Amino acid sequence: MNVLAELFPHVVQNWDGVLQATGETLYMVGVSLLFSVLLGIPLGVLLVLTSPGHLVPMPWINKLLGTVVNVFRSVPYIVLILWLLPVSRLLFGTSFGPTAAILSLVAGAAPFYARLVETALREVDAGVIEAARAMGASLWQIVLKVLIPEALPAMAAGVTVTGVGLVGYSAMAGVIGSGGLGAMAYNYGFNGFQNDTLLVATLLLILMVQLFQAAGDRIVRRLDKR
């Protein structure tokens, strides 16, 4: 214990703070990942279905959606946070803290996940869709019974990628007082000259990403029957 206290004085002293920061990161990433997936799937499905040559080609809607997605994806996250400050003030009454951060995290990650969903759905063999049409399937049935189940492994892999991305974004959300490990590393570790806090916070983030990636890969392997 003595050795630990000597090597990581601030961490040992502020162990509760470290735990809390870990919890905040998990909360932010978890909730925003959930909403990103819930928004990203329908958005991705629409992007595919309305594209030229697909089941319900609607060039205007497709262009509009594509542009919106691209706008959100091209704005750097740190800038996106600033632009969304008034929105979160409007919605949550505050532009500060982890809940406010979730708004911008979703705004950054949902369009990204939507693109991953789009790519996954495009990979579904056109022949399978044709077979479903020949069976008399409705558009809704094709989406739910064919497109999504067939694309599920790729969509699951996309969740992993998005989640890992969100861990990174959540560190930047520290500027609006989101808390979390990233903010801890910056505020205490860098600005407060606590090298041990910087190190431990970094290690915890790495561990988090590793575990998340491993779990994701496992799920994808189980889903993939090809």
Partner 1 sequence: MIELHGIRKTFSTGGKTVEVLKGIDLSVQKGEVFGLIGRSGAGKSTLLRIINLLERPTAGRVVVDGVELTALSERELRRARQRIGMVFQHFHLLWSRTVRENIALPLEIAGVPKREIRQRVDELVELVGLTERADAYPSQLSGGQKQRVGIARALANRPHVLLCDEATSALDPETTDQILDLLRSINRRFGLTVVLVTHEMDVIQAVCDRVAVMEGGRIVEVGPVAEVVARPQTETARRFLQQGRAGQRGAYVSAFSEESKPVAAQASGVRAPRAAAETAEAYLRLDLAGITAPVVEEAIRRYAADIRLCEGSLAEGPDGVRGALVVRVAGTPEEIQAVTDYWKAAGVNVTAVAPVAERGVRA
1 binds partner 1 (CB under 8 A): no
Q: Which stretch binds partner 1 (CB under 8 A): 35-43, 54-62, 104-112, 143-151?
A: 143-151
127 binds partner 1 (CB under 8 A): yes
How far, in Å, CA of 37 to CA of 57, rounded?
24
Print burial letters for 46-73: b (CB count within 10 Å at least 16), e (below 16): bbbbbbeebeeeeeeebeebbeebeebe
Question: Rounded to the nearest whole angstrom, what is the least distance from the CB of residue 45 to partner 1 in the complex?
Answer: 17
122 near partner 1 (CB under 8 A): no
Total residues at interface with partner 1 (CB under 8 A): 21
Distance CA 26, CA 181 (A): 9
Using CB under 8 A as the binding rule, whether residue 133 contacts partner 1 is answered as yes
User: Is residue 52 involved in binding partner 1 (CB under 8 A)?
Assistant: no
Pick one of 132, 154, 185, 201: the residue that binds partner 1 (CB under 8 A).
132
**CA geometry: angle at 203 spanning 185 and 172, to 5°?**
40
Q: How far is the CB of 226 from partner 1 (least distance, A)?
A: 5
Contact with partner 1 (CB under 8 A): which of 5, 68, 91, 128?
128
Which is nearest to 219 in space by CA: 176, 164, 167, 155? 155
Q: How far apart are CA 119 and CA 33, in angstroms?
A: 19
d(CA 35, CA 74): 20
Which range, of 18-26, 71-79, 124-132, 206-214, touches partner 1 by CB under 8 A? 124-132
If phi over 0 gives left and psi between -120 and 50 gives alpha, with beta otherwise, what is residue 94? Answer: beta
Nearest residue (CB) to partner 1, 13 versus 119 = 119
Binding residue for partner 1 (CB under 8 A) from 42, 57, 149, 192? 149
- Residues forming the site for partner 1 (CB under 8 A): 125, 127-128, 130-138, 141, 145-146, 149-150, 152, 223, 225-226
